[in-house]
Structure formats: structure tokens, C-alpha cells
Structure 1
């Protein structure tokens, strides 16, 4: 007991709270961990547990922060989690954009249901693709990579020493611009075949006015899109996995 009390110095307590804020920023903003399915109390307890687990591994330096500097350092620790999470959020946003585009092209935009992950109404096809993406991310140890990234930042960014630099801003701007391109590339095979089927149905209606597009065309188009989704979903998930790995490599270089 006396050893525990003797370790509660200003420096140890100060660095402990900075590490707590670093993990708090990670678990508050990173994909999957920011889901509304995970209660705030669970995330808070997990953050506290990981802080205790990782605290002995951090390099201990002299605690020489003033009150103003310490408050700024705490805010920058939260900023680290927010900035690092943006790259991964963009990848998940790209596959969500692909799912919504596929749903719109199939005419299933109104076939929506409550999405417990985002807490909003989303098309069913987009929900299925998003859930597959999360399952794939967990199957390739996404959560382990996250903890490895936090461990990596201890040697490159001391507690309270995070600074948002120009390289990070350039990467995030480029990644945000590529989000729509990546999402469109994932959805392109389905979009192309649905567009081709629309052209064919239009030509049939022009030559055979009695052709009932509502009764025949839409169900056939949905069936075609579902078949193509089944065929190309492995390629979509592989592209998602590659983009996820690219983001982690970029995070290790930038942080």
C-alpha cells in the first residue's frame, strides 16, 4: 500500500491522465469502437483498463508542464485520436458510399431499415455491405493493429507532444478526395450492369410499347444486380482490405 501511495507523484499521475486521454481519443473516434452499440460506460472502462495495461511501457520523462500547457497537452491527445481516425473513417465511408450507390441504382433506396451501427435509417443493401466490411476488418485483426498503432506512438510522439503538421493535412485532404473515387470503383461493376440493363429495357420499350417496365423490368433489374453483387462482393472486400492496410501503413509513417 505504501509503495502504491509513493508512486502517486505529480509526474506519474499527470502522465497517466495524458495516456488515458490518448486512449480515450482512440476509442471515441475510431471505426467500430465509436458505434452506438458499444455503451459509453463499456468504452470508458475499456479505456481505463488499457491505460493501466500500457502505462508501464511508456517512456517516463520529467513532468514540467504548467497548468495551461497541461490542458493544451490533454486537448492534443484527444486531437491525435481524432486525426488518426479520419483515415480509417474515410475508408469505411468509401464502402458506405459504394453500398448507397448500389442501393440507389437498384431502386432499393426506399427499402431501408434502422442501422444500429450509425443510429440512422440506411438502405438494406448498404447495411449488408457495411456489416461485411466490419466483420472483415475484425477478421484481419483490425483491433490488434489499433493497439499496435497506439504502442507505436509512444516512441514517436511523447505524451502531450502531438502537433498537427502539414504532411498529415496533405494526406487527409488527398484521402478525402479519393474516398468517392474508391467508393465508385467498388460499386462500378454493379452500376455498369444496371445501367446496361436500363438501356436494354429502354430499347425494348421503344420497339415493343406493350412491354410493362414496372411489372417486368424492375424485378429483372434487381435480380441482375443481386447476382452481380454475389459475384463481385469478394473483390469489393479485397479492395476494402487493401485500403485498410494502406491506411495503417500511412499512419505508421505519419505518426
Structure 2
């Protein structure tokens, strides 16, 4: 009877708005948006987390008309989408780095189906992307997501999200820096591969009988793999720092 008495129009409306906020989180945030997590699982997680977080909602009066409620629901989904872009930039930076590495190694055609994104990706890119996801989970990435939702419940009332100019400005700046961060991650491998290409070019000039296809390419790929093994810890540290910076920006702007 106590549960039935709590099912007022206001509580049901706030419950639906919170459900939409969690739906936006689980639909667009990295790791939760991959193909390995079925839509039914994401929907069940959204409903379960809504039940857990519903007591944290501040008790206010529900004064939404039907049109205002529909607009508020759309803004809750927009909140999850915009917040996910803050973190998607970090994962896109490491994807740009791995694509650049694969291209310079000559392994662009060595691609396979990526079960996470549902598209064809290079083998090197898939390995580093999986390492990035494992690292993100090891530093409690999923816990930070839930803490962010709890933070927004106190800073942004349900149905009260407004798209501000500082959020758009940060996203534009972040996407502009995405290529710079990705290039910085891949620079040691790209630089050494460029140096090896110069050396092989000089050898071919002095020794025309040198078979670049039979000797040069396997040697270049082997050198690149050795350098990747050596610099992968530095790439993961940079990825972790960028991920922490993205979460700090989320707490500051939302």
C-alpha cells in the first residue's frame, strides 16, 4: 500500500524523466554503446538504475504540461548525448592514433570485424582499443558515470537542462584537440617508421638490387611492433589523463 500511495502523477513523471536521463547515458556513453551490450540489457540497466537513484531526486512539485513534459524528456536525452561526446572525444583520439599507426605500417588492409563498433577496423587498432576499455574499467570508469548522474541530479533538476554556450565551446575545442592528442599518441611510432622509410630509400639509391618488398616491409613492420610494445604504456597513461580531464569537465559544465 505504501508503494501504491507513492504512485502520484508527480512521482511517475519524475520517474519517467530520470529513466530518460539514464537511457541517454546507456545509449550514448562509451563502453555502454557498443554492439556487445544488447539493447534489452541497456534498457534493463536504465530501469534498474532509475529505481536505485529515484530516492535521490529532490522533492519538488510537478508542474509540467504535456508539451513541457515532452520537451523535458527530449532535453534529458540530449543531456546524455552531449555528456557522452565529452568521453567519445577521448576514445576517438586513440582510434585516430591507431588508424595512423596502421596506415604507416602498411597494415590498413589487415582489418577484421570489430564486435564493439560493428565495423571493419585494423587489427592494431582493435588491440589498443580493447586495452583502452580494460584500462577505463580498471580505473572505475563505470563508477564515475554513475557518480556523474548523481551529481547532475543535484545540479540540474529533472526537466531543467538547458543547452549552454560553454558546453558547445568546450566540445568544439575538444574535437579540435582530438587530432592533436591522437597524433601525440602515435608520434613515436610514426617518427620511427618515417626514419626507417628514409633509410630504406637511401639503401635503394645506393643498392638498386635491394628488394624493398621482400626485405623492407617486413623489417619496417617488425620495428613498428617493437616500438608499439615499448610505448603502449605511455599511450595508456595519456589516455587515462585525457579521460580524467573529460570527467572533470563534465562535473564543471553540468
**Which TM-score tier does this pair reach, normalised by the shorter chain?**
over 0.9
| Cα displacement (A) at 1:55 | 0.2
1:218 corresponds to: 217
Is 1:62–2:61 an aligned residue pair?
yes
1:4 corresponds to: 3
| Cα displacement (A) at 1:80 | 0.2
| Cα displacement (A) at 1:6 | 1.2
| Cα displacement (A) at 1:57 | 1.1
1:237 corresponds to: 236
Point out where structure 1 has 5 or more consecutive residues left out of the alignment: none
Q: Write out aligned runs for 1:69-108 (5 A).
A: 69-108=68-107
Cα distance in 1, alignment partners of residues 64 and 247 from structure 2: 31
Structure 1 stretches of 4+ with a deviation exceeding 6 A read none
| Cα displacement (A) at 1:12 | 0.3
1:43-95 alpha-carbon deviations (Å, 9 max, x no partner): 10011000000001111210000000000000000000000000100100000
2:138 corresponds to: 139
Aligned length: 254
Cα distance in 2, alignment partners of residues 87 and 153 from structure 1: 15
1:198 corresponds to: 197
1:181 corresponds to: 180
What SS is found at the alignment partner of 1:113? strand
RMSD across aligned positions (CA): 0.4
| Cα displacement (A) at 1:205 | 0.1
1:172 corresponds to: 171
> Normalized against structure 2, the TM-score is what?
0.99
Point out where structure 2 has 5 or more consecutive residues left out of the alignment: none
Cα distance in 1, alignment partners of residues 55 and 241 from structure 2: 34
What SS is found at the alignment partner of 2:16? helix
